[in-house]
Amino acid sequence: MSKNIKKIGVLTSGGDSPGMNAAIRAVVRTCAYNNIECIGIYRGYQGMIEGDFKEMGPRSVNNIVNKGGTILKSARSKEFMTKEGRQKAYQNLVNAGVDALVVIGGDGSFTGAEVFNEEYGFSVMGIPGTIDNDIFGTSHTLGYDTALNTVVECIDKIRDTASSHNRLFFVEVMGRDAGHIALNAGIGAGAEEILIPEEDLGLERLLESLQKSKASGKSSSIVVVAEGEKMGKNVFQLKDYIEEHLPEYDIRVSVLGHMQRGGSPSCFDRVLASRLGVKAVESLIEGKTNFMVGLLADKIELTPLEQAIKGHSEIDRELLRVSDIMST
């Protein structure tokens, strides 16, 4: 065991995701298992600047493994982007006797952790928590599996209405820069078309596809749209465009919004959070710093934070091919 690590701080930052609480629980209990104190830092980096700390032990994380959101709360901190803000945060950690940080969040949170490490040589370890699954160095981020299941369940319910009324539904899902949710949930829910930021399907091809669907006898259709798709039109403009060119379609729009971020985490996310939390603490104890723990080929591996931030999480080309075949 590294003699330097006697107290570890844990925080959640950026957008919340199901599984964050399970990860907090894993960090706290792994600390207790190794006789290390654990401090919960409330409201992310902003709480670090304001000294909003609370000691946490195994019993303080009872009954949270099944809860969505984050008991430590989350906030975006503009102040932490300044040297003065980071200086305050560092002083608060030193005063509290904290030796290392576990940061649960996305690339913005990791960027903050990396800068903090560079400036103060402070030991940091990242756990990827975001439903978008857009972080390099892990096949799954915390909350992604739960979000997929939530979206598929919603689309299944929308399809019941679409079928009953012979309607075309545009369903917008989260994913401003990455189409992982749209692509996987679209295939899982049997969508006729899937529009994602990584692929510019083109309005003409979308029209053609919908015309083919109508001609082949499909009385209702579901088009899943990632919020960052590349056609240059938001989902309501897409609806207007299709209505103008295919007036025979009765079109509705459903924006799933923040319900995708909420809810009880899936078993997969709970187990993943537990594995990542244990590895994060054990890696800090071993003297490692400036890494993110992630899932690669079903093993928990370390990726340098810089790579996790700058690397690009690629869309699965094979899934795109499967999607094309399934929409026939």
| Phi and psi, residue 120, nearest 5° | -120, 0
∠ Cα 283 55 50 (to 5°): 95
221-226/123-128 β-pairing: unpaired
N-to-C CA span, the chain? 58
| Phi and psi, residue 282, nearest 5° | -60, -35
| Phi and psi, residue 301, nearest 5° | -125, 160
**Catalytic residue status for 132:** yes
Listing DSSP states for 203-217 in one string gives HHHHHHHHHHHHHTT
What tokens appear for 20 in the block?
């964050």
**Residue 32 class from Cβ within 10 Å (0-12 exposed, 13-18 middle, 19+ buried)?**
middle
Q: Measure the CA–CA gap between 253 and 238, rounded to whole angstroms.
A: 10
Choosing from 52, 99, 132, 145, the catalytic residue is 132
User: Who's near 77: CB < 8 A, 6+ residues apart?
Assistant: 13, 44, 45, 46, 49, 85, 112
DSSP 3-state assignment of 55? Answer: strand
Q: Measure the CA–CA gap between 27 and 21, rounded to whole angstroms.
A: 10
| Phi and psi, residue 193, nearest 5° | -140, 150
Is the CA virtual torsion 177, 312, 223, 216 positive or negative?
positive
Q: Measure the CA–CA gap between 54 and 62, rounded to whole angstroms.
A: 15
Q: Measure the CA–CA gap between 208 and 252, rounded to whole angstroms.
A: 19
> Which residues carry out catalysis?
132
